[in-house]
């Protein structure tokens, strides 16, 4: 079904975009010297973050990973990375970390203004050991207090009782630290309220994700999802965030009604695994668009939480649900669980193929992707394309090579379809 004569829900789409813009502008303003208004700053990682808790202490959250991807998009990550390498960071370590160190060396001047220093580093290390090294370095350079929230790796589908107990006990300890750092008393009732907002946004987000089951999908579940998920990662727990997803859902539902999608004609539906090449985001997307490819599910959009697997924050079980949420971030799932998720996405979203974008920086994501490919192509006959570059370092991107592989892959899929296969 091609485009209708007049998009009915231009309002919801525009309203959603405007709200996101407004919310993010307010967020960055709150981080500025005047906007902060004496509030303390907590640095957090996106996977398994505990922003609901820090929010109760009026702490402003800063996410170095998000700073890194923004710098990638705005083409300044390269400079930051070089600064970090001059300081002694190897070319073989994570580009996100180097971008952050480089940012620090540039007095935290980012494309969004100067970022504040951390008052507390909350290393919620879920699914990535490098996070510990990252914040140990920041603790050293800033002389800031560091709390390492140890989040056990998920070996089974559900965390064990001991896993949950360990994390909830640490959350109590963290609450005490936050009290001390901010001088604000811990209000459990307030936490419940914040969790309520989070849960609302999360449920709507899941419905947003499910709209991609439509043919054609109303949005690209990778290239667009990584922007749609921003409020959930940066502003979770706020009213504005929940409202944004209400608008987004309305917008997407109208697109489904009208049969509107991100490409003129949806020819191939794919699941995409791995982070995007931020410094070359647009050109990478173009390589797929020209083949009429639309992503219907992705895993990078789940680093902030596997909500679509039924893991939501729950005001009736505050610390338990935060603990469960923290353990259920995509890279904290073991490889068997990840592979199984890929299979389910391929089936549930009726995808034609899997695309793996493997990034040099991130071992957590990348180590094992070749094994996924082996399992799916040779074991199960699922067409899988694997391409490589990096998520932050602009130097590792070779357009000619990527284009060759992407073209070859979709050529062969197209040809097989034609000859009836």
- DSSP H helices, 74-229, are 77-87, 95-105, 130-142, 161-182, 188-210, 225-228
Give the nearest distance from C-beta 261 to other proteins in angstroms: 16
Our CB check for other proteins shows the closer of 123 and 235 to be 123
Cβ at position 155, least distance to other proteins in Å? 6
CB contact at 8 A, 355 and 273: yes
How far apart CA 36 and CA 117 sit, in angstroms, is: 12
Return the number of the residue (164 or 229) whose C-beta is nearest other proteins: 164
Q: Give least dist CB 399 to other proteins, A.
A: 5
Based on CB atoms, which residue is closest to other proteins, 67 or 331?
Answer: 331
CB of 84 to other proteins, least distance (A): 9
Closer CB to other proteins, 7 or 292, in the complex? 292
Distance separating alpha carbons of residues 236 and 221, to the nearest angstrom: 20
Residue 50 near residue 124 (C-beta atoms within 8 A): yes
What is the 8-class DSSP label of residue 378?
A: I
Closest CA to 213 of 265, 263, 264, 271: 271
State the nearest-atom distance from the C-beta of 407 to other proteins, in Å.
5
The radius of gyration of the chain's CA atoms, rounded to the nearest angstrom, is 21
CB of residue 320 to other proteins, shortest distance in Å: 14
Closer residue to other proteins, CB minimum distance, 31 or 341: 341
The minimum distance between CB 95 and other proteins, in angstroms, equals: 12
Residue with smaller CB distance to other proteins, 239 or 399 = 399
Which residue's CB is nearer to other proteins, number 109 or number 398? 398
| CA gap 398, 403 in Å, rounded | 9
The smaller minimum CB distance to other proteins, of residues 316 and 398, is found at: 398
Contacts 24+ apart (CB under 8 A), 257-261: 257/8, 258/1, 258/3, 258/4, 258/7, 258/8, 259/1, 259/2, 259/3, 259/4, 259/216, 260/3, 260/4, 260/7, 260/216, 260/218, 261/216, 261/217, 261/218, 261/219, 261/294
Nearest to 54 by CA among 38, 36, 64, 39: 39
Q: Compute the least distance from the CB of residue 80 to other proteins, in Å.
A: 15
**Among 229, 230, 223, 346, CA closest to 286:** 223
Q: What angle do CA 146, 81, 231 make, to 5 degrees?
A: 60
């Amino acid at each position: 079904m091609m485009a209708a004569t007049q998009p009915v829900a231009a309002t919801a789409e525009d309203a959603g975009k405007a709200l996101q813009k407004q919310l993010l502008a307010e967020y960055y303003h709150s981080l500025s010297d005047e906007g902060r208004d004496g509030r303390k700053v907590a640095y957090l990682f996106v996977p398994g973050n505990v922003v609901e808790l820090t929010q109760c202490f009026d702490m402003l959250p800063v996410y170095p990973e998000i700073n890194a991807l923004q710098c990638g998009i705005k083409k300044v990550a390269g400079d930051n990375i070089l600064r970090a390498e001059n300081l002694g960071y190897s070319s073989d370590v994570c580009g996100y970390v180097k971008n952050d160190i480089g940012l620090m060396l540039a007095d935290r001047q980012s494309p969004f203004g100067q970022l504040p220093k951390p008052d507390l580093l909350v290393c919620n290390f879920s699914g990535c050991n490098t996070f510990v090294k990252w914040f140990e370095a920041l603790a050293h350079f800033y002389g800031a207090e560091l709390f390492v929230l140890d989040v056990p790796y998920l070996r089974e589908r559900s965390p064990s009782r001991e896993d949950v107990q360990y994390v909830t006990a640490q959350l109590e300890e963290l609450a005490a630290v936050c009290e001390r750092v901010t001088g604000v008393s811990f209000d459990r009732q307030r936490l419940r309220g914040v969790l309520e907002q989070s849960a609302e946004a999360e449920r709507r987000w899941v419905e947003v994700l499910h709209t991609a089951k439509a043919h054609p999908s109303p949005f690209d579940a990778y290239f667009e999802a990584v922007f749609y998920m921003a409020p959930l990662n940066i502003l979770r727990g706020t009213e504005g965030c929940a409202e944004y997803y209400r608008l987004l859902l309305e917008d997407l539902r109208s697109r489904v009604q009208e049969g509107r999608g991100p490409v003129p004609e949806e020819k191939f539906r794919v699941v995409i695994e791995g982070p995007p090449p931020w410094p070359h985001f647009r050109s990478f997307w173009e390589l797929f668009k020209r083949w009429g490819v639309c992503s219907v599910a992705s895993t990078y959009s789940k680093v902030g939480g596997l909500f679509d697997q039924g893991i939501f924050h729950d005001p009736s079980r505050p610390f338990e649900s935060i603990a469960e949420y923290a353990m259920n971030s995509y890279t904290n799932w073991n490889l068997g669980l990840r592979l199984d998720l890929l299979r389910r996405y391929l089936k549930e979203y009726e995808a034609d193929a899997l695309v793996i974008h493997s990034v040099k920086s991130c071992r957590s994501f990348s180590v094992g992707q070749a094994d996924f490919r082996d399992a799916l192509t040779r074991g199960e006959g699922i067409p899988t394309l694997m391409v490589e570059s990096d998520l932050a370092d602009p130097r590792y991107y070779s357009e000619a090579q990527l284009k060759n592989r992407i073209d070859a892959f979709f050529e062969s899929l197209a040809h097989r379809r034609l000859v009836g296969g």
